[in-house]
Amino acid sequence: MASWQFILVGVLAAVALTSAVDCEYEGKTFADGSKFKLPTSGNCIEYTCTNGGFKTTKKECEQGSSCFPLGHESVNNCYTTVCQQNDDGRIGFINKEIKCSGDEGKCFSPGEEFTKTYQGTVYSKTTCTVEGNDVNYAFRN
């Protein structure tokens, strides 16, 4: 009968332990792995400290006291805006569509006739044009 001998060879694995590096910004220190916000970025941008540097981990648009995700659309006074990040990295709401505001808060497309009260007079054939971010009204009866 054959006899087998097993030799256990110990392998020493050298493991280099590195300590996490904290992040510093404007005199403040943030622990590695911690999440934080910067006053210059508002309440809707969040960063994470990663080995001495920080990266953006939450990007949202601020409107009033609320945060909205990228792509969120909002309509206010007939202006439709969308939360986007532009080419230089800034995040905010930009105008997507601008319509004309008639009486009772109704929105109308440029060129469409509608009723609008202006300085106490009701105009039943009001139209408007949009130039850039400006709405110009033509009041007629």
Residue 15: band (very low, low, confident or very high) from pLDDT cuts 50, 70, 90: very low
Q: Please determine, for residue 111, whether its predicted confidence score (pLDDT) is greater than 70.
A: yes
The radius of gyration of the chain from alpha carbons, rounded to an integer in Å, stands at: 30
Tokens of 113: 């006739």
Q: Which long-range contacts (CB under 8 A, 24 or more apart) does 10-13 make?
A: none
Q: Please determine, for residue 7, whether its predicted confidence score (pLDDT) is greater than 60.
A: no
Nearest to 59 by CA among 50, 49, 72: 72
Query: Could you write out the three-class secondary structure of 76-104?
Result: ECCEEEEEEECCCCCEEEEEEEECEECHH
Predicted confidence at residue 18, as pLDDT, reads 56
What is the C-alpha to C-alpha distance for residues 130 and 134, in angstroms, rounded to an integer?
A: 6
What is the C-alpha to C-alpha distance for residues 68 and 74, in angstroms, rounded to an integer?
A: 10
- Share the mean pLDDT of the chain: 87
